[in-house]
Each structure stands twice: as structure tokens, then as C-alpha cells.
Amino acid sequence: MWQGCSPRETRGRAAAAALAALLLVACGTLSIPQERKLGQEANREIRRQLKLLRDRVVHDYVAHLGANIVAGAGPQPFEYEFHVVEDDQINAFALPAGYVYVHTETILKARNVSELAGVMGHEVGHVARRHIAQNYNRQRNTGILHQVAVIGAGVAGGSAAAGAVNLLGGLAGVAYLNTFTREAEADADAFAVDVLPRAGYDPRGLVSFFDTLAREGGAGVPTFLSSHPAPKDRIQATSARIAAAQLPANLAVNDGGRLEIIQQRIRLLVGESGSSKQR
Ligand SMILES: [Zn+2]
């Protein structure tokens, strides 16, 4: 993900549901079917908590872009879904098993479709490269998982430890679902660079969106730059990978004004800030 890889409003219930599902898989590596189940549970909860932009035109645009990227990635074990969250923070995140969420502000701030494709390609990369399963194993080994699972079990059993759950729920959502190592972030970037050309998009949009993030970060956005300590390394590695690639001609940077129409539609729907409502 972009801004530390976590859904901003993940709180107790979503985490509890994810962790309850996690308890089912507390032994052994997270399998594909187990990740699917975890993803379904987490997705169900997160949809209750996030304010989705329920506009068919915008949704279809993003879903179509996502489907193109997935097609470029080749056969996948997961069925991907793409959704738009009404939120004025630049962000995007992926839940287990292919539920990808893009904030309206990310769409508004993309200067062309290749930038938006870069963000989405990165998120698809987290799913496709099984970074979430890696997190599962890593956290199981550190014992964090056990502590969090105990809290999750308490919630599932109707415990009234709401304060602790709210505290640890946010932590769990971040720590369990979407906190990736720097290596995983670099791997998701590499995935995007490799896959985007096969989907018809110019991978240089990924790098140029880093610039957008850097600019916006200066305006007080809680940023990607602060949560990823080596943005320059990331930009350099991504640029080097692109430079070494044999890019086909005529990769899409723009999409004939369609993104601009979608951006205008979002502004009309939610206001210039990207979000008209409280969160
Ligand atoms: Zn990421």
C-alpha cells in the first residue's frame, strides 16, 4: 500500500473478524483457500466501516482498469475485486485474496491513467506475490499473532474488553492485514513494473506518482514518505527496473480523457476535497 499499507479506519470489528478467521488457520502456512476465507471475512467487515463511493460509472472505470492489470498478470489464484472509498487521503490498500480499495483522493490526484494504474498495479502485486501470507508466517513466528489472536477470540466470544479491542484492533488491522516489509513494498513495485506494460500501461506512471506523493506529503498528508524510510531507494530501484525493461511502443499514459471525466464526476459527487462526509 501507499501510506503504510493500512486501511485508515480499520478498527476493532474488522480486526476481530479477520482474527477470528485467523484462529481457524493458526497452524501452518496460510493456504490459498484459507486466505480466501480470511479475505471474505475482512472484506465483509471493512465494507461496513468504510464509506464506499457507490457510483456505478466510477466503480466500473476502476474495476475495468483493475481487470486489465490482473489480465496482464496472467493466471491468478484469487478473484480480484476493485472498489472506491470516499476518502480525502491519498491511499489504496489490498485485503487478503484480492479485494483492492482505492481512495477517491488517489484518483483525483493521478495526473494520468498510468499513475492510477501504477498504484493499482502495486496493490495487485501485494496480493499476487502472497505478501499477506508472508506476513502471517512472519507474525506467527514473532508471537505477535498469538497476542492479537487472544484479543480476537475475546471479541468473538462476546467479551466486553472494548477499549483494548479498539486499541489493539487498529494495531491488528495494520500489523496483520497490511504492514509489509520494505522488501515486500519493493517487490510490489517490481510486480507493477513488470505487469503494467503487459496490461498496456506505461510503468513510468508508478514513478511519477511517487512525485505526486512527495508533493502532497509536504501539505500535511500523513504520508507514504514518512512510513517508508527510503523513498529515494524505491524510486531509484523502480526507475532502474523500468530502464532495463524492453518496453513495447505505444503504452498508455493517458486514456483519451476518460480519467478526467471520472475525476470531474468524483468532484461533483463528493466535493473538491475528495470527501464530503465525516468519516
Ligand atoms: Zn504497498
Which residue of the set 187, 189, 202, 255 is catalytic?
189
pLDDT at 242 over 80: yes
Strand order from edge to edge, sheet including 99-103? 81-85, 99-103, 92-95
pLDDT score of 279: 41
Which residue of the set 123, 185, 202, 255 is catalytic?
123
pLDDT score of 222: 38
pLDDT score of 99: 92
pLDDT score of 85: 93
Q: Is residue 261 very low, low, confident or very high in pLDDT (cuts 50, 70, 90)?
A: very high
Report d(CA 237, CA 190) in Å as an integer.
8
Judge contact between 93 and 173, C-beta under 8 A.
no
Report d(CA 254, CA 259) in Å as an integer.
8
26 CA from centroid of ligand 1 (Å): 25
User: Rounded to the nearest 10 degrees, what angle do helices 56-73 and 182-198 cross at?
Assistant: 90
199 CA from centroid of ligand 1 (Å): 20
* Residue 189 is among the residues annotated as catalytic for this protein: yes
61 CA from centroid of ligand 1 (Å): 22
159 CA from centroid of ligand 1 (Å): 33
- In this structure, what C-alpha cell is assigned to residue 3? 501510506
pLDDT score of 84: 97
Q: Is residue 39 very low, low, confident or very high in pLDDT (cuts 50, 70, 90)?
A: confident
Tell me which of 47 and 153 has the higher pLDDT: 47
275 CA from centroid of ligand 1 (Å): 23
pLDDT at 68 over 90: yes
Residue showing cell 462526509? 277
Q: What share of the chain has pLDDT > 70, as a percent?
A: 66
* Residue 123 is among the residues annotated as catalytic for this protein: yes
Say which residues have a Cβ less than 8 Å from residue 36's Cβ, sequence separation at least 6.
Answer: 78, 96, 97
In the DSSP assignment, the letter for residue 96 is T
pLDDT score of 69: 98
Tell me which of 170 and 111 has the higher pLDDT: 111
Mean pLDDT of the chain: 77
Mean pLDDT lowest among 24-38, 146-160, 196-210, 239-253: 146-160
pLDDT at 31 over 60: yes
